[in-house]
Amino acid sequence: MSATRRYKDAWEGFWSEASSEPGAVFWDAEPALTAGLHLALFEPHMAAADLPLVDLGCGNGTQTRFLADRFRHVVGADLSAGAIEHARYSDPAGQAEYRQLDATDKAEIEQLHAELGDTNVYMRGVLHQCEPEGRHPLAQSVATLLGERGRACVVEPSQAAGTLLMGLARGDAGPPPKMEPVLRHGIAPVEVPDAEVSEIFRAAGLEILVSGELPLTTTDYTPDGSRIELPSRWLVLGRAG
Ligand SMILES: C[S@@+](CC[C@H](N)C(=O)[O-])C[C@H]1O[C@@H](n2cnc3c(N)ncnc32)[C@H](O)[C@@H]1O
């Protein structure tokens, strides 16, 4: 399968309006609070840290650049041409390589795997808002990229994050300000039930090597001035033995 025109347009519309200012986008928190925390959990489980690393659904590349400081060959891949433009603009030294691709498109992922061989994968916040028909193909793509030797670190907001956001949206102040463009472009947040996340990856032939909970720090604040943190789950995956 591949993503529908409506879904692609939603992301393209979002990224074409997004500012390149650090912290302008709801989920775009500093890497020290994001990929930095995940990497400490992920690295001990990498079977081969010298493989290329793909940041799948890299958005504007904030986390990709952090990863590119630590790994030899990092590729940021995103569905949206606008996201890739932001990512390249913010990486003038070209620390990472960026590609526009649809991670639910089998042929595009097979092509990437043919070029890079087995890779490690970082994927944050992509499964939970992708189209329901895209969930299994997306997990299958992660499995294809990993091949025999790669490992993936997947981070997704939990169901409780949806409840929290819904509660904030219904409050007097309405949705957090930086959520407004996300909702306006028709991007549906936190749609995958917790129990399904593991099942989706297992169905793609992947094994959960280790997992845990962590707050997903956003760049937005509640009316009382506290930074919004969403409950999230991280998983390290490898091919089932
Ligand atoms: C919530 S953002 C997270 C961005 C980034 N991973 C981060 O942690 O900052 C989700 C990203 O996934 C991208 N995306 C959604 N569906 C995709 C697909 N089928 N293939 C590739 N990228 C996709 C969107 O364009 C968007 O940039």
* Cα(125) to centroid(ligand 1), Å: 7
Q: Is 197 helix (H, G, I), strand (E, B) or coil?
A: helix
Helix (H) or strand (E) segment spanning residue 11: helix 5-17
**Residue 92 corresponds to which tokens in the numbers above?**
């003038």
Residues with CB under 6 A from ligand 1: 3, 11, 27-28, 57-59, 62-63, 78-80, 83, 102-104, 124-126, 130, 134
CATH H-level, domain 3-12+26-157+193-204: superfamily: Vaccinia Virus protein VP39 (3.40.50.150)
**Domain segments of the chain as ranges:** 3-12+26-157+193-204
* Cα(72) to centroid(ligand 1), Å: 22
Burial of 69 (0-12, 13-18, 19+ CB in 10 A): exposed
Q: Residue 59: CB partners within 8 Å, gap ≥ 6?
A: 15, 25, 27, 28, 78, 83, 86, 87
Helix (H) or strand (E) segment spanning residue 116: helix 106-116
pLDDT tens profile 64-89: 999 999 999 999 999 999 999 999 99
Per-residue pLDDT of the chain (241 residues; tens, 9 = 90+): 789 999 999 999 999 999 999 999 999 999 999 999 999 999 999 999 999 999 999 999 999 999 999 999 999 999 999 999 999 999 999 999 999 999 999 999 999 999 999 999 999 999 999 999 999 999 999 999 999 999 999 999 999 998 888 888 788 878 888 988 998 998 977 678 888 999 999 999 999 999 999 999 999 998 888 899 999 999 999 999 8
Phi and psi at residue 46, in whole multiples of 5°? -75, 130
**Residue 193 corresponds to which tokens in the numbers above?**
């039930």
pLDDT tens profile 161-201: 988 888 887 888 788 889 889 989 989 776 788 889 999 99
Q: Is 167 helix (H, G, I), strand (E, B) or coil?
A: helix
pTM for the full model?
0.97
